[in-house]
Amino acid sequence: MDLITTIGILASIGTGTALLPQLIKIVKEEKTDDISLVMLAFLFTGLSLWVYYGFLKGDWIIIISNIFSLTVNICIVVLTLRYKKKG
């Protein structure tokens, strides 16, 4: 594995796990008062475009890491909508 691939993998791990602490906090507290759905919509759009770009380039690092990020993002959106309805 070359240096460029290693950097790509490390970058994807960093960005892919960035929202995990937020997701864990939401699950534990069942509160999403401070979550912006607009920010999540922009993030979802960007991640979707990265996945598409990854397919166009045939780059599995980009595809897998951004699908993981999309999954975390979708979980946050679902929980945000669920818990905002409770309050």
CA nearest neighbour of 83 among 28, 44, 46: 28
Per-residue confidence (pLDDT) for residue 85, from 0 to 100: 72
Per-residue confidence (pLDDT) for residue 87, from 0 to 100: 58
User: Which CATH number is 41's domain given?
Assistant: 1.20.1280.290
Q: Which domain holds residue 77?
A: 3-86
How many domains, the chain?
1
What's the pLDDT tens digit per position in 41-63? 999 999 999 999 999 999 999 99
User: How far from the centroid of its chain's Cα atoms is residue 67's Cα?
Assistant: 8
DSSP, res 58? T
How far apart (Å, rounded) are the C-alpha atoms in residues 51 and 60? 9
CA angle 39, 41, 42 (to 5 degrees): 65
Residues of the chain with pLDDT under 70: 86-87
